[in-house]
Amino acid sequence: MTTTAETRTPDPAKIYDRSFVPALFARWGPVVAHAARIRPGDRVLDIACGTGALTLAAAERAGPDGEVIGLDPNPAMLEVARAKSVAIDWREGSAEALPFDDAVFDAVISQFGLMFFDDTARAFAEMYRVLAPGGRLALAVFDAVETAPGYDLLAKLLDRQCGREIGNAVRAPFAMGDADNLRALAACTFPNATVTRHEGEVHFPSIADLVETEDACIWTLGGLIDTEQAARLRDAAEQELRPFVRPDGAIIFAMPALIVTATKPE
């Protein structure tokens, strides 16, 4: 019987926190919190907070007089997040139906979640609704997959080995990586929205760690390839991704982000 990636990885939330957070997400928390101009005493909402990489950075800036809420639809991710801080209010909920009153937040933030929202237009409308007049928005998404050469090669490997549909699973996190389209989408709700590009890198301890983490991720490859396909992918990746490997075996390559910022009118 074929063994799926889902069977092989029983706790994707912990794998996400152990591998993806240090490799991809932790370094962006302070960047997005700065883009939102979070100040001491602010009330802040982090949407699609995951295990809290951005939420924790926001809480550090808001300080003990602030209030920070991390919202995510995945209870397993929230369980991991709650173990990190009892000072943060961790809540289950979706971006399209925010469980908050109107005009209650000084800042609404999110990193690398927008591309997975079911209805981005509705999510922007909800963000606008819960922001107080003068409140700030800051959302980060990954730039186009071609700007992250390691992932671009990994997706093409999957195209050849498993078909374009599987390759596109690795491309999914980069779906919002067009600055003009992103600004136009945000401007439907926030006319003063701007988009800026920020350089960044992804760091994994090894090629095998990168592939195994992607194989475990329920938002990309998790459950889509079997044990044999995963082994073939690791073998091919060891060759294709070698140009990005450092002497210590770590794999590092560019992975820039686009950050949308906007302000709700007074």
Tell me the per-residue pLDDT of 56-66, one tens digit each, with 9 for 90 and over. 999 999 999 99
Residues contacting residue 261 through CB under 8 Å, at least 6 positions apart: 35, 36, 136, 137, 138, 193, 194, 196
Per residue in 154-164, pLDDT (tens digit) is: 999 999 999 99
Which 3 state secondary structure label does DSSP give 223?
coil
In this prediction, residue 6 carries a pLDDT of 38
Q: Is the dihedral of CA 62, 65, 69, 75 positive or negative?
A: positive
Q: What is the mean pLDDT of the chain?
A: 93
Specify the CATH architecture of the domain 5-263: 3-Layer(aba) Sandwich (3.40)
The answer, yes or no, to whether residue 92 has pLDDT greater than 70, is yes
In this prediction, residue 5 carries a pLDDT of 38
pTM: 0.92
In this prediction, residue 10 carries a pLDDT of 52
Buried/exposed 163-190: b ≥16 CB within 10 Å, e otherwise? eeebbebbbebbebbbbeebbebbbebb
CA–CA–CA angle 135, 49, 52 (5° rounding):
110
CA atoms within 13 A on the CB side of 11: 8
Write out the two tokens for 82: 């709650």
pLDDT band for position 9 (cuts 50, 70, 90): very low
| Greater pLDDT, 227 or 200 | 200
In this prediction, residue 47 carries a pLDDT of 98
In this prediction, residue 190 carries a pLDDT of 98
Phi/psi at 92 (nearest 5 deg)? Answer: -90, 135
The pLDDT of 20-39, averaged and rounded, is 96
The residue length of the chain stands at 266
Q: Quick count: other Cβ atoms within 10 Å of Cβ 246?
A: 9
The pLDDT of 133-155, averaged and rounded, is 97
Say how far apart CA 41 and CA 141 lie, in whole Å: 27
Is there a contact between 13 and 80 (Cβ–Cβ < 8 Å)? Answer: yes
The answer, yes or no, to whether residue 136 has pLDDT greater than 60, is yes
The answer, yes or no, to whether residue 76 has pLDDT greater than 80, is yes
In this prediction, residue 223 carries a pLDDT of 79
The answer, yes or no, to whether residue 243 has pLDDT greater than 60, is yes
